[in-house]
């Protein structure tokens, strides 16, 4: 591992926090297009460190070659994916989890159930519900 330590912790904490802030503030994440994230980050390049800029330039190079699979697998896009996962987990904690379940009753008519955890019940402000526990 000697000689690779700089790359292990990509991006550095400062760059990750700044990247998360600009992505969230502009409502972008790994579900956004490469181009939209590319344009946004390019505007803020001077705020990032040297290693981040090198990885971002490599990402842009892959885009210019239409090497979309490699761009998706790049360290830069990996950082964007990690930020998205972190953000989605935070939203799940706050908003809870929902699931729609449908089954046929004895007379052949569908019954639809909305299943949710306690956080979802609180977030949705539903007043009347049946607990499964």
State the pTM of this model.
0.66
Alpha helix (H) residue ranges in 26-133: 34-43, 50-64, 68-72, 75-95, 118-124
Instruction: Report pLDDT digits (tens) over 49-105.
Output: 999 999 999 999 999 999 999 999 999 999 999 999 877 777 777 778 878 888 888
CA atoms within 13 A on the CB side of 115: 8
Instruction: Report pLDDT digits (tens) over 21-59.
Output: 999 999 999 999 999 999 999 999 999 999 999 999 999
């Amino acid at each position: 591992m000697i000689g690779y330590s700089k790359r292990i912790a990509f991006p550095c904490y400062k760059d990750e926090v700044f990247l998360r802030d600009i992505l969230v503030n502009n409502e972008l994440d790994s579900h956004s297009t490469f181009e939209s994230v590319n344009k946004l980050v390019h505007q803020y390049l001077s705020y990032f460190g040297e290693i981040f800029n090198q990885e971002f330039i490599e990402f842009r190079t892959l885009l210019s070659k239409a090497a979309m699979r490699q761009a998706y697998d790049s360290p830069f896009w990996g950082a964007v994916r990690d930020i998205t996962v972190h953000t989605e987990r935070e939203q799940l904690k706050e908003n809870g989890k929902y699931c729609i379940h449908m089954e046929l009753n004895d007379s052949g008519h569908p019954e639809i159930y909305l299943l949710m955890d306690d956080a979802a019940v609180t977030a949705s402000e539903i007043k009347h519900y049946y607990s499964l526990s």
